[in-house]
């Protein structure tokens, strides 16, 4: 990584200011909304997790959170635009999280259809990531994502750029990942798609922890698991466009400043 990239991640740099396209503005609003929703659902971890979105266009830029800003404060204009080398390419008074750059750049570089990548350290997801068998098909919610999940072993805080190759290898063709002893990750063609996947994943993890705490658990039949897998392949893709307008209305009723 260049010295400039390291500086950008630590302090922030001044890139070239310029007008943004309508397409980029729409992505910025959706991603800022996703940050606010993470805070709304209580999934944030102070400033230490990250969501990203690819900027439309040939430059291979993506947007990520300003490192130091709480999720409930993030707005469309405060999101930081970076290139694949970690250089901040538009005006920002903030740097970016180096571990966030490692994880998100790996996936955006490897998967051209990865429009959005979301990574959390939420209690339930992190708890399941530390369990030997990971996510179990205990509930309908879990079965909807169960066969979409890849696993990546913990290597320490993701500061080593060499880990990107192993992360992408372990991800394969999946769009959901449990980072062992760490947290959860989802990928979508759009911000709404990635967010809805994360909602189902975190909800499934929460239900698993509660069911296990209550005593012996009951497993559905293998046939039921396979049926739900087939049903989820089309259903989850359609869920994002159905749910997202209502989530935006929820945010607008609370605080519409995410649009700024």
pLDDT at 232: 81
Phi, psi at residue 227, to the nearest 5°?
A: -65, -45
CATH class of 3-259: alpha beta
User: Scanning the structure block, which residue is given the tokens 């009723």?
Assistant: 253
For 105, what's the count of Cα atoms within 13 Å in the CB-facing half-sphere? 26
Contact of 151 with 134, CB cutoff 8 Å: yes
DSSP bridge pairs for 177: 150, 185
Q: Which strands form 116-120's sheet, in the order they lie side by side?
A: 80-82, 62-64, 50-54, 116-120, 183-188, 176-179, 149-152
H or E segment and range at residue 197: helix 191-214
pLDDT tens column, 76-129: 999 999 998 999 998 888 999 999 999 999 999 999 999 999 999 999 999 999
pLDDT tens column, 128-166: 999 999 999 999 999 999 999 999 999 999 989 999 999
What are the residues whose beta carbons fall under 8 Å from the beta carbon of 26, sequence distance 6 or more?
Answer: none
Contact of 95 with 87, CB cutoff 8 Å: no
For residue 4, pLDDT over 90 is answered with no
pLDDT tens column, 50-85: 999 999 999 999 999 999 999 999 999 999 999 989
The token pair at 49 is: 């997790």
Distances (CA, A) of 61 to 120, 189, 241: 22, 15, 24
Domain limits, the chain? 3-259
Write the DSSP string, 40-51: HTT---TT--EE
Contact of 94 with 67, CB cutoff 8 Å: yes
């Amino acid at each position: 990584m260049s010295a400039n990239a390291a500086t950008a991640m630590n302090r922030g740099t001044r890139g070239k200011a310029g007008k943004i396209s309508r397409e980029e503005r729409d992505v910025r609003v959706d991603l800022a909304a996703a940050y606010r929703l993470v805070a709304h659902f209580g999934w944030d971890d102070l400033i230490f997790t990250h969501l990203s979105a690819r900027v439309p266009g040939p430059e291979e830029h993506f947007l990520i959170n300003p490192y130091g800003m709480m999720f409930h404060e993030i707005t469309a204009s405060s999101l930081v635009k970076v290139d694949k080398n970690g250089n901040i390419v538009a005006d920002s008074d903030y740097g970016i999280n180096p571990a966030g750059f490692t994880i998100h750049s790996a996936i955006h570089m490897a998967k051209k259809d990865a429009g959005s990548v979301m990574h959390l350290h939420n209690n339930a997801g992190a708890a399941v990531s530390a369990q030997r068998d990971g996510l179990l098909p205990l509930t309908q919610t879990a079965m909807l994502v169960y066969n979409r999940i890849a696993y990546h072993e913990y290597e320490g805080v993701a500061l080593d750029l060499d880990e990107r190759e192993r992360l992408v290898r372990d991800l394969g063709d999946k769009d959901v990942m449990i980072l062992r002893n760490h947290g959860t990750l989802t990928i979508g063609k759009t911000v709404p798609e990635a967010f809805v996947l994360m909602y189902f994943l975190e909800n499934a993890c929460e239900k698993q922890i509660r069911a296990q705490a209550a005593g012996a658990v009951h497993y559905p039949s293998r046939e039921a698991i396979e049926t739900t897998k087939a049903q989820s392949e089309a259903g989850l893709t359609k869920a994002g466009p159905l749910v997202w307008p209502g989530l935006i209305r929820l945010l607008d009723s609370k605080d519409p400043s995410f649009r700024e």
